[in-house]
Homo-oligomer: A and B are copies of this chain.
Amino acid sequence: MGLVNGAAQAPAERVPKQDRSRATRQRLLEAAVACLAERGWAGSTVSVVAERAGVSRGAAQHHFPTREDLFTAAVEYVAEERSTALRALFPEGAADRRAVVVALVDLYTGPLFRAALHLWVAASNEDQLRSRVTELEGRVGRETHRIAVDLLNADETRPGVRETVQGFLDMSRGLGLANLLTDDTTRRAGVVTQWAAILDNALG
């Protein structure tokens, strides 16, 4: 009976602890992305993020031993959340291509892109970050490409289609960059309308 009780209690206690731990981790990751987007790499430390998330510095370091761990995990986590949300927007797959183009471009104009941009630019001058961020960029880039191919209903067995989708994603990144210092919404809407038609035609 003691054993049974003990066995029954242990998982009952463990589950909420895991939940709490997961919730703390998520708060830290979301605070880290917001911090990077607003303050850049130089202003983003584990302490600043812990305070913003309402978590002790010790607890933050339990989850993420180094600053590099925290910020690369944060960008990856938010990118995955965005990917999931994007797929959920078009559950039927092949939807209206213009709507898909707008949703894909939107990926590059919010705080996630801003945070990732700060991380990439810092990594270009910091050896400790560089290999981690390069690997992260590769993973996130491949996943975004897969989503774009699926949602745009692009047939990559046809010559040139792979490069067409890649170039469109490069354009989306460039549109994100153009939105960094000023609100580029109006100009971007015109570019997106025009290029959605060109892309639709190119994908056949």
Contacts and interface: CB of A to CB of B under 8 A. Distances in A.
Chain multiplicity (copies): 2
Interface residues of A, number: 46
Interface stretch (A1-9, A26-34, A35-43): A35-43
Contacts of A190: 162-163, 166
A177 B173 contact: yes
A171 interface: yes
B181 A137 contact: yes
A114 interface: yes
A71 to B, nearest CB: 15
A140 interface: no
A178 B120 CA distance: 10
Interface in A50-92: none
Contact of A187 (B166, B172, B194): B166
